[in-house]
Amino acid sequence: MTKKLSIIVPCYFEEESVPLFYDAVQRVAPELKDVELEYWFINDGSTDGTLAEMRKLQEKDPQHVHYASFSRNFGKEAALYCGLQQATGDYVVVMDVDLQDPPEMLPIMLKYLEDPNEDYDCVGTRRLTREGEPPVRSFFARMFYKLINRISDTEIVDGARDYRMMTRQMVDAILSMSEYNRFSKGIFSWVGFNTKYLEYKNRERAAGTTSWNFWKLFQYSIDGIVNFSQAPLDIATFIGALTAFVSLIGILWIITAKIFFGNPTAGWPSMVCIMLFIGGIQLSCLGIVGKYIGKIYAEVKHRPIYILKEKK
C-alpha cells in the first residue's frame, strides 16, 4: 500500500534555494518506493522572490507541491509548527531548503521507520563536525549543549539538526503542544518516542546566505534554556541568599571590630563598591525573573503562533 511522506520546508529569503531543493529531492524520489511525496513550503514573510518560486513549483506539480505564506516574518519555529499542521502524510520530515540537510538520507531514514524489526518513531540527524562555521560560533554551540543538558531534564543531543523523519503518532504529539514560545529541538526530545540518530559531516549551503547570525543564535539558545529549565531561577535564588549571608557576616565583623578594637568603619569608597556589587546582582536576578515573566505574558495573551496570508 502506498504511503505518503510530507516534507516540511521553512523558507526565509530563499529565492535561489527553493528550485534547487525541489530538484534535489526529486532525484532521490525514485528510491522511496511505494511512497507518495507531499511538499509543504512555508514562506516565513520573505519579501524577495521566494513566494514566486513556490508558486511556480505549485503550478508545475500541483498534485504534490503546496505552500503556505505568512503575513509577516514569524520565525522558523512558527514555520515548523505551520508545516506540521498542514502535513497529511503517514510520515513527516523537516528539512532546510539550503540543502545542508542531505536528501539522499531520506531512503535510509524511511527504511528504519518501516523496518518491522525496529521500533523507531523518529530518525533524526546530527552533525559530526562543524566545518565551515566560525570557530567562535562552534565553541558557543558546544557550550550551549553542555549547559542545557546539565541543567535540564530534557536531553538535547549535541549537533542534532531539525532534519528528522517522524511517524504520524509523534507528529500528533508535537502538535498537541500548542505553546506560543516554541523550541523545537527541546519539544522533539520532550515528547519522547524512540529516536535513532544518523551522523553526517557538515555541508555548505547550496545557494544564498544564512539569516542566522551570532546574536540570533544567542537569543535562540537563551529561549531554549528558559523554555526547558528552571535552573536560572534557582541560580538567582542561590546568589541572592549567598550575597545576603556574606553581607550579614560583614556587618557582624564591622560591629565586632568597632566594639572590641575601636576600629572606625572604612570610608565611602568601600561602601560604594559593595552597594554597586549587590545592586548589580539584584538587577541580574531581576532580569532572569523578568525573562520568565515575559514568556508567561506572551503565553497568556493567546496570540496565534502565525497568521496565514496565502495557502495553496
Tens digits of residue pLDDT in 93-138: 998 888 888 888 899 889 888 887 888 888 888 877 666 555 666 6
Instruction: Looking at the structure, tell me whether residues 117 and 259 fall in a common domain.
Output: no
Instruction: Looking at the structure, tell me whether residues 22 and 77 fall in a common domain.
Output: yes
Last residue of a domain, one of 229, 246, 279: 229
Tally of domains within the chain: 2
Candidate from 116-130, 199-213, 294-308 with smallest mean pLDDT: 199-213
Instruction: Looking at the structure, tell me whether residues 19 and 166 fall in a common domain.
Output: yes
Nearest-angstrom CA–CA distance, 48 and 259: 76
Task: Examine residue 309 and state whether it is found in any structural domain, yes or no.
Answer: no
Cβ burial, residue 135 (10 Å; 0-12/13-18/19+): exposed
Q: Looking at residue 257, what is its pLDDT?
A: 66
Tens digits of residue pLDDT in 230-270: 667 667 777 777 776 777 676 677 667 666 666 655 555 56
Instruction: Looking at the structure, tell me whether residues 18 and 30 fall in a common domain.
Output: yes
Please report, in angstroms and rounded to a whole number, the separation of the first and last CA atoms in the chain.
27
Instruction: Looking at the structure, tell me whether residues 17 and 70 fall in a common domain.
Output: yes
| pLDDT higher than 60, residue 72 | yes
Structural domain including 259 reads 231-300
Task: Examine residue 96 and state whether it is found in any structural domain, yes or no.
Answer: yes
Q: Looking at residue 203, what is its pLDDT?
A: 67
Instruction: Looking at the structure, tell me whether residues 37 and 119 fall in a common domain.
Output: yes
Instruction: Looking at the structure, tell me whether residues 58 and 202 fall in a common domain.
Output: yes
Percent with pLDDT over 90 in the chain: 11
Instruction: Looking at the structure, tell me whether residues 14 and 80 fall in a common domain.
Output: yes
Q: Whole-prediction pTM value? A: 0.73
Chain position carrying cell 514560545: 181
Task: Examine residue 312 and state whether it is found in any structural domain, yes or no.
Answer: no
Instruction: Looking at the structure, tell me whether residues 251 and 290 fall in a common domain.
Output: yes
Instruction: Looking at the structure, tell me whether residues 80 and 141 fall in a common domain.
Output: yes
Instruction: Looking at the structure, tell me whether residues 220 and 75 fall in a common domain.
Output: yes
Nearest to 83 by CA among 71, 75, 92, 73: 92
Q: How many other β-carbons are positioned within 10 Å of the β-carbon of residue 28?
A: 15
